[in-house]
Structure 1
């Protein structure tokens, strides 16, 4: 590792210093983007950001600048997507160039002796998140050590979404933690499925057939769905694009009890409750929801770093049924949704445009759900539930917090389940011209009330009536 050199600009932020980190790795070459990368690139262009992932993490185990430089080198050497730069190709389309070797920089940012290093780290993370990557010239990972009085207090990491997704980050952190403590070598060989290899595989006839099967599933649902998910556009004079987090330990406990009784996962319980609550709010049934599918359950893709997540399409009838029945329906619909969430995104856009033309109306798919937890499986058959008075007391602790409004959002409502282990965090993004702030607040409370009620009543009805025939 080279010695520190003069200060530099990294990701638009001025560093106190830097360490040059050389790297080398397999998978070099030039080729097309994968389906996941192409989907993310389109979303990034629409949003005007790199949709970056990461943040500031306290360093409490005595790691040094040298240690963090070793970690950055590990990421760059092992994961070809961290060495990929994207630029226009000869035909005007996009290509990615994966480098077999090169150098990167670990930034070093010193807090003032009387300053707050936590604030310095959070400010850097915020600035990097707000600064788009120059994908043609910049490696898609930025990393810096924040120091106070010479000791490392935080590491700040920002990765462009076109290089990874939530599942990819979990792979990277898991394999980082499994390194040999003496040599720093990885426990297992690296995946041979780099982004160029996967893009080539996705051009083969067998994988193209999988895409065709998936698009036929989308076509069946899109042709049978009504055109709207929410009400008409209404400017209520409030900030349009908003986000917030609803936190509920009661929802965590109740969802586990319902899942254990029904024989499902808590993810299916939360998705079912979301579908019912939206139907109660809008009166529109059946529910049609885009669900983010990680796709790492597919053969050969478990350990890749580059983005695989795409949206699957789920339809579930929530009317005239018990909530337990809707959870069962949701679990079965989720299996189909996952199976058919592997497709060429250009083919999906062509399909949707054709269906809209033939119907003479656009079919909205602007209601989304994403469970960011990893490895959520079927609950064991132990339907124990805390006493009602205890659960109601826990429910009183639930809280909803609004974040700062943001300048642009591409859909109307999205709910993401956070990664907390002992509570449920529902992070929501909303276009208040279609779902008001009061309505989304009521919707979060309704999800909680529904699941808590169902924990004590297996026959609890959804209260949703079928829509009248057109």
Structure 2
């Protein structure tokens, strides 16, 4: 039973009230991290933060403190990765310890009468995002209710990336929505494989063979790739690491039109367009792009909540071809990219270092693409919108710059957000390699390419 507590500290934030939430679940024990967790842990150490996910969400359905405490208890009991603490030995060895039972705390933030609770919720979300998790002592999920005049107005949730990823959050929210309304129990009483169980499977002979096959694919691409993705370093001052959002209804309409004609998903069309636009910007081809792949399509992994998304490597020749042909090439290359995106990340880094030594040059892998939309593989149908409508939609497109990053690990990454009836591209860039003006030109060219291709199946890429 949830019990009120007079004062609590969550994620470094002191709160006057809270609710102690007991939990119990399967999968307890200690052991290795999964490949996905290892990759995320390395990225977190490089970035200097927990790469956490979440935010402040308005509560408009009348949920109470008790309801939110029940949700936190569900997450903690159902998903072993939410009960995992990670310890690093003096030699760097990582171990995760999954608890079979324990207590979490739902924080409560009360807003004074007359004050807007929205800013208070966003401040808490920002504070939590900026505060790294103490993974050895803290549960990897923080959750709080924001209350005004006795009613819950917002819920704030922050989850460390080492405990889940975008696909894992989707699994958690789907199972939460399908709970029995009376008992609060999940429809499927058996939870998916926990992180300790998956880590053990990945270290079996069969798991190692799968990893080695993936690494052979990577090795073939790395040995044939040119070393550079972008031009030389140019100091353009600060802020160096920038974030932009490009919103385009025209890209949404055009990508669906090309996808309907070529018979593939719109996500592949966007990836092909990105490959062509980057090649036109840099003059470097074939395109070599790290693509974020969710491994939940693999047998037995669909309902797993802990991190499964890792980078696959895609190479596609965009030169001397029509755009439709590049879409077809991208579709074939993407199938291989996804097939071989399941590997031991430590062995991959060893492979990359060896190839760099043998070639006498560093093979850059700093161009990335991540389509975060759920259901983006659905094949679109419907008539091609009139050219006039598409051209008019281009006039609605907006490129806006957000808060810069204190540091960033790559030179260019484009993420496709889960917007409705538009394509929302989030661009992360190191401006000492790709300038602000080049980002703007890249987005304009990307959009123009797809809008033109929507009406011309023989459109050449213009890349030699």
Same fold (TM over 0.5): yes
Compute the RMSD of aligned alpha carbons. 1.0
Shift of 1:190: 3.4
**TM-score when normalising by structure 1:** 0.97
- Following TM superposition, where does structure 1 have runs of at least 4 consecutive aligned residues deviating by more than 6 angstroms? none
Matched, 1:64 2:64: yes
Query: What TM-score results when the alignment is normalised by the length of structure 2?
Result: 0.99
Shift of 1:180: 1.0
Indicate yes or no: 2:369 matched with 1:369. yes
Determine if the alignment matches structure 1 residue 310 to structure 2 residue 306: no
Give the secondary-structure state (helix, strand or coil) at the position aligned to 2:239: coil
Q: Give distance in 2, aligned partners of 1:209 and 1:91.
A: 27
Equivalent residues of 1:263, 1:378 under 8 A apart: no
Correspondence 1:185 to 2:185: yes
**Match in the other structure for 1:428:** 427
Q: Deviations over 1:56-104 (max 9, x none)?
A: 0000000000000000000000000000000024864010000000000
Do structure 1's residue 110 and structure 2's residue 110 form an aligned pair?
Answer: yes
CA distance in 2, matches of 1:257, 1:48: 42
Deviations 1:119-168 (A, max 9, x none): 00000000000000000000000000000111000000000000000000
- 8 Å Cα contact 1:290-1:367 kept in structure 2: yes
Is the contact made by 2:3 and 2:21 (CA closer than 8 Å) also made in structure 1? no
Distance 1:367 1:97 in 2: 35
- The 8 Å contact of residues 55 and 157 in structure 1, kept in 2 or not, is answered as yes
Counterpart contact for 1:272–1:330, Cα < 8 Å: yes
Q: Which residue of 1 is the match for residue 148 of structure 2?
A: 148
Q: Is the 8 A contact 2:323 2:459 kept in 1?
A: yes
Secondary structure of residue in 2 paired with 1:118: helix
Aligned length: 464
157-166 or 398-407, larger mean C-alpha shift: 398-407
Equivalence for 1:414: 413
Deviations 1:196-230 (A, max 9, x none): 00000000111110100000000000000000000
Q: Secondary structure at the match of 1:4?
A: strand
Offset at 1:16?
2.5
Deviation, structure 1 residue 3: 3.3
Counterpart contact for 2:265–2:380, Cα < 8 Å = no
Query: Would you say 1:399 and 2:437 are equivalent positions?
Result: no
Q: CA deviation at 1:183?
A: 1.3
User: Could you say which residue in structure 2 is the equivalent of 1:122?
Assistant: 122
1:251 correspondence with 2:251: yes
Kept in 2, the 8 Å contact 1:285–1:318? The answer is: yes
SS in 1 for 2:4: coil
User: Which blocks of at least 5 consecutive residues in structure 2 are unaligned?
Assistant: none
1:263 is the counterpart of 2:263: yes
Question: 2:279 is matched with which residue?
Answer: 279
Give the equivalent residue in structure 2 for 1:198: 198
1:349-368 → structure 2 map (5 Å cutoff)? 349-368=349-368
CA distance in 1, matches of 2:288, 2:194: 34
Deviation at 1:393, TM superposition (A): 1.1
Question: What are the Cα deviations for residues 399-453 of structure 1, in whole angstroms up to 9, with x where unaligned?
Answer: 0110011110000000000011211000010000000001011101111111111
Q: Distance in 1 between matches of 2:363 and 2:442?
A: 23
The CA distance in 2 between the partners of 1:416 and 1:84, in whole Å, is 29
Q: Which runs of 5+ in 1 are unaligned?
A: 466-470
Query: Is the 1:30–1:96 contact (alpha carbons within 8 Å) kept by the matching residues of 2?
Result: yes
